[in-house]
Chains A and B, each alone.
Chain A
Amino acid sequence: MAVTAMLGRRAMLGGTALMALAAPAIWTRSARAAGTGFDGARHLLSRTGFGPTPSEIAQFESLSHDAAIDRLLRTARPDAATPPPSWIGITPPEARQAQQSFQRQRKAAAAAGGAPGTQQADGASPAAPPARPGNLQPKPLANANPIQEQGRELRNWWVEEMIGTDQPLVERMTLFWHNHFTSGLQKVRFAPAMYRQNVLYRRHALGNFATLLREVAHDPAMLLYLDGAQNRASQPNENFARELLELFTLGEGHYAEADIKAAARAFSGWGLDRETGAFRFYPGQHDTNAKTFLGRTGNLDGGDILDTILAQPRTAEFIVAKLWHEFVSLKPDDAEIRRLAGVLRDAKYEMRPLLKAMFSAPLFRDGANRGALIKSPIELIVGTVRVLGIPVPEKTRLVRAMQAMGQVPFEPPNVKGWPGGEAWITTNTLLMRQQILRRIVEATAVASADDGPEGMAPPGMMPKPGRRTDRREQMPPEMARPVEGRSLRGAGMSARLGPSLSGVDVSTLTRALLPLPPLTPMPANATPGEVVATLLLDPVYQLK
């Protein structure tokens, strides 16, 4: 009952509210009949990006659904706009050397009664932090563990790109490929390779699946992650071959154990140059005997295996089913998946025609499918930061919040990636989500002048005494409280919302932030901050 009443009210208020927004009223009104509308635009943007702001939605609502999709797919920039970390050019020997030198230092320091990386050792410098206004990057720590420090910078770099990007679909697809062709820094242990893999996924984010697959098979991070670099004719290592078939292309049940063994032999000799870390073929390690793979026999090499896989209709179906789960619905629809797999094959594995067909599918637009997917931790955090328009110069706390909810970029839990869907929500992670959102909402109360955005760190992740987990103490003092509009609740009418939300009426805020009517009643005479706070803490905010 309450729901229908609410819906009715929303539908009624919606139209007038939108006028005030961004677009000139004259063409908004006339175009709306043909346009995809506010809710349609919101749905498209929230499924293909990160928490759209009211003004982003306004830019799309007057477009037809087709035109809106075309605009999403028309992306020009092949690389991230955020400048990469400084160390991406180092070679494996250099990385090893840095690691060894760190370990020597640590031993020496331990012998001298302290260890680098402890608060004690850091204590000397941050006492008088250098004031460097305008420079958001804190000074690198001389005594940090290089691999850990690089991992931190790498994760922060990507999170910064996701927050700042003007082509969110590219980042969502980069994340999709990262979760499909998984690799993790903990196993790879060479951050430049993980960076380059991410660059590869971004370049091919909306490109050609066949090309991407071939490049992935040559990708150094992948060769390290699935032990391909150790695969020799004398003793083949099956790890990559198995996951290639099971998780990357065909899926379980569409090949035999013998195919895995044959594929492993075909890829033998694909390795890495020890000096440069680049792909290198070692002919002496390659198995040149005849192999039979999916019915094809001959002296097959890795390229032949990939060609054979790409010739299987099943490969397109497998990829489409995974994209369907990511973008459309947790419920697979076999007929639609077969139809869309046909589109992908006809397009010779080009992704744009497939995505266009998928986003135009009736089930994608179906009202019952709105708000039927659960946001991933990355979507939740990046989306919230984008929507609130709060500047967060230091991303480490955001990553820590993602970790508490079960998703760390560059560290999937295993080669299958994050399972997603309902698995995102357990008693543990739901508590974490609410708590992290509550802290963002309440940040103001605690985050007066000297406390900083402490709220972003979930309690289990709080720095332990004596352990260096963040570098806030090294940041210039004005950086320590970057959260504008943090007075969401409790600061009364003086609460300032970020530019993305200020001046937007309650009804529009509700329809922009939530895919379905809220379950929490809105307090009477709520301040704008209270409205946003109430919406962020509503269970429906977890949905997209």
Chain B
Amino acid sequence: MLRRDLLAGLSGFAVALGTHGAWAQNRPTVAPGAPRFDRILVLVELKGGNDGLNTLVPFAEPAYHQARPGLAIARERVLQLDERVGLNPALEPIMESWKARDLAILQGVGYPYPNRSHFRSIEIWDTASAASQTLTEGWLAQAFAGVKRPGERRIDSVVIDNNALCATGGDLHTIVMQDAENFINQAKAMREMGTPQAANPALQHIMKVRAETHAASLGLAERMKGAPAPAKPYGEELFGRQLELATRILLARVPVLAVKVALGGFDTHAGQRDQHERLLGQLGRGLASLRQNLIAGNRWNDVLVMTYSEFGRRVKQNASGGTDHGAAAPHFVMGGAVKGGLHGTYPSFADLQDGDLKHSIDFRNVFGTVAKNWWGLNRDFGVRQPQTLSFIA
């Protein structure tokens, strides 16, 4: 059943670039056992809409070079992964992971009826909703709704960024922070205080955040005491500092389910070339250092690192040396338990929708796969015929 739907779905695409075989190996699903609380997801949001075409470059595709005379990456600069696609040279640092087969690249990730508004589209991703549906709860909160966590836990997720929507809502305990020590010191000073019964929603919100902060600080302080610093340093940029804090939390074995970081600046409407390669360089170096630190700290098998972004960008470049908002794009998944390689098919250039690539993987199936094969939770995120992907070994 599952398999037939899958093939039916695929037949709609002109499979111009071939598949890497991952789809065909989609195993029959095994009912998940007890939820796993020892596995952590590290989400990396690429803010502004990352240009997938110049990330995973379809260098052998003539239509790519035609559509982007000033932006296409020349074949000889591409880090070739197979005879058709390769990585932007700025992503060289993650080639180590590719060669070690713990980097999966999901091709053509998106959703039906793509929305090209930054805010709406990232909301669709963060809440795992359909384009036509508005949900307020983040997908991580949905994934763990009604799942009883081990008793001693105070924090479910740490967001080291200002967008916490993916981890907002339900009974998920999320803390948002930039600096662990400061957080602990201040949170301790925030004593518990009763909330008046008739408090308005704004005051209730403040009191709830206060109580959460105080509770979280107690557990975190205990764990972070004497936590080792990462052996491999990160850059001084904001993204590097976020990864540094994420690494410390992971190495200190703070019992969390998810950590979120973000790299901004991908909204490259003008003068894209240098800006985009600079960002991919930061991303590549950051992910490579994260991998080395987690391997050294014996955490790599317990961590799944995954990128996401509101959309990819238009195939055709614009007059400003940039690209406008698009639709489907590739994403990275890394980790000791990851099944490396290319997954899914590169969207076809012969079948564009309003000048944009059509998706071949629904991101809700990616989230569903993480819920099921990483945490052991059955969640379809509203997809009528959910498919489990094979990027987790």
Contact = CB atoms under 8 A, between A and B. Distances in A.
Nearest to B212: A427
A323 to B, nearest CB: 18
Given A237-B319, A257-B116, A519-B194, A425 B209 contact: yes
Interface of B: 116-120, 162, 164, 174-179, 182-183, 186-187, 189-190, 193-198, 200-203, 205-207, 209-210, 212-213, 216, 269-270, 318-320, 322, 324-325, 354
In the complex, the 7 A-B pairs of residues with the closest C-beta atoms, listed nearest first: A235-B319, A230-B320, A426-B176, A431-B186, A428-B176, A427-B175, A372-B200
Given A422-B201, A431-B182, 7 more contacts: A406-B162, A413-B162, A425-B209, A427-B175, A430-B190, A460-B178, A519-B195
Given A237-B320, A431-B213, A422 B202 contact: yes
A86 interface: no
A416 interface: yes
A542 interface: yes
A381 interface: no
Nearest to A404: B178
A239 B206 CA distance: 36
B319 A330 contact: no
5 contacts: A230-B318, A425-B205, A427-B174, A430-B210, A431-B182
Contacts of A512: none
A460 to B, nearest CB: 5
A346 B40 CA distance: 57
Contact of B203 (A371, A426, A428): A371
A92 B197 CA distance: 58
B187 A431 contact: yes
Contacts of A542: 206
A413 B118 CA distance: 12
A223 interface: no
Interface string A402-417: 0000100000011110
A371 B209 contact: no
B118 A414 contact: yes
A497 B36 CA distance: 57
B200 A3 contact: no
Interface string A345-373: 00000000000000000000000100111
Given A237-B320, A257-B116, A520-B193, A428 B178 contact: yes
A227 interface: yes
B162 A460 contact: no
A516 interface: yes
Contacts of B212: 427
B320 A372 contact: no
Interface in A329-350: 330
A238 interface: yes
A492 interface: no
A539 B269 contact: no
Nearest to A253: B120
Nearest to B198: A3
A246 interface: yes
A242 B206 contact: no
A434 B201 contact: no
A428 B209 CA distance: 9
A491 interface: no
Contacts of A3: 196-198
A65 B183 CA distance: 44
Nearest to A375: B202
A243 to B, nearest CB: 9
Given A227-B320, A425-B205, A428-B176, A460 B182 contact: yes
Contact of B216 (A230, A238, A416, A427): A427
A540 B175 CA distance: 22
Nearest to B177: A428
Interface string A220-250: 0000000100101011111100100010000
Nearest to A415: B118
A426 B209 contact: yes
B127 to A, nearest CB: 15
Contacts of A238: 324-325
A94 B212 CA distance: 52
Nearest to B183: A431
B193 A234 contact: no
A252 interface: yes
Residue in A2, A438, A520, A539 with the greatest tally of chain B CB atoms within 10 Å: A539
Nearest to A374: B202
A237 B209 contact: no
Contacts of A428: 175-178, 183
A360 to B, nearest CB: 21
A99 interface: no
Contact of A539 (B177, B206, B318, B354): B206
A543 interface: yes
Contacts of B319: 230, 232, 234-237
A516 B119 CA distance: 34
Contacts of A252: 117, 120
A519 B210 CA distance: 13
A469 interface: no
A539 B210 contact: yes
Contacts of B213: 427, 430-431
A516 B209 contact: no
A242 B116 contact: yes
Interface in A482-532: 516, 519-520
A459 interface: yes
B114 to A, nearest CB: 10
Contacts of B174: 427
A435 interface: yes
B326 to A, nearest CB: 11
Given A371-B200, A430-B210, A519-B193, A416 B118 contact: yes
B320 A246 contact: no
Residue in A234, A237, A413, A415 with the greatest tally of chain B CB atoms within 10 Å: A237
